[in-house]
Amino acid sequence: MMHEVVVVDIGGTHARFAIASIGADGAIALDTPETLHTADHASFQTAWQHFRELRGGSLPQAVSMAIAGPVGSPGNLNPVIRFTNNPWIIRPALINEKLEVERFTLVNDFAAVAHAVARADDSQFLHLAGPDQPLGSEGTISVIGPGTGLGVAHLYRSGSDYRVQATEGGHIDFAPLDSIEDAILARLRSRHNRVSVERVVAGPAIVDIYEALAAMEGRSVPELDAITIWGLGTSGEDSLAAAAVDRFCLSLGSAAGDLALAQGGFAGVVIAGGLGYRIRDTLLASGFAARFKAKGRFESLMANIPVKLIVHPQPGLFGAAAAFASEHA
């Protein structure tokens, strides 16, 4: 029997909606997503109503939402869910009434990505490092996503069964490995009491990396935003920006290796998120793989972990559907 569910991936800037079909065998298919700007809607309910209008005035009576923020556990949801970068709030106790649905699932956005990793087929992954083999069917897989921040989750697989755990692993301490990273840390420490890894391994961090490298060389550079630096660096148009991008890739490799060690992610590591996909060619040509496995006495262990990039076009929506299927199986 086929089930349909509205799936939503809500971030600070955009809310993506789609209708997912979930087959009796667990296979998931998405229709064409709609992307709405959160700033254009006073609340999630009005955005929901807009999507319903786009779909002809009626929707399935089930919804699964991937939310950029803590939601609690399936049996113990937060009474009020707030978003980090938009003013919407969601009260789980009112979802059935306000959205006119019978069943719902709420999941952290990066937990949703981990659900997507668990259910995506091998064709949805690009090989980055380690042995060129599929992710393991047994054990823990670490999922890491550099974006506006650094999302971290992991999943434990046992054959066809799996469990997902969202974490706040992006907020562990940044650990420099050489004098250049010492300089980046010193720059960040002048503004922050504590420097977490996402201060270096996230999209906006490229500005601090770029400016730290310029200061090391005694160069005066114009103030550039992150998008500009990423563009100059990945194109090779600016050598200092290119060095900053390469340094980002090195630090991402180190952080991914640290998290795999901490989580026991020996069945595989997956890099997720739009930034990872946009710089995939740069990652492959960089020192990411060397840094990932550079863990001293555990180098041979790290070298045997397959590291992948998920290339599914909508992992948040796909993962929201997978989370719904798991909760309401």
Cβ pair 108, 69 in contact under 8 A: yes
β-strand pairing of 268-271 with 307-310: parallel
Q: Is 8 annotated as a binding residue?
A: yes
Q: Is 12 annotated as a binding residue?
A: yes
Radius of gyration of the chain (CA): 20
Cβ pair 8, 20 in contact under 8 A: no
Distance CA 183, CA 181 (A): 5
- The encoded tokens of residue 48 equal 């929901």
Q: Is 90 annotated as a binding residue?
A: no
Helix 239-263 and helix 206-216: axis angle, to 10°? Answer: 120
What is the four-CA torsion angle of 107, 148, 38, 312, rounded to 10 degrees?
-60
Q: Is 233 annotated as a binding residue?
A: no
Q: Per-residue DSSP letters for 7-61?
A: EEEE-SSEEEEEEEEE-TT--EEE---EEEEGGG-SSHHHHHHHHHHHTTT---S
Distance CA 105, CA 214 (A): 47
Beta-bridge partners for 34:
17
- Binding site residues for ATP, as ranges? 8-13
Point out the annotated binding site: 8-13
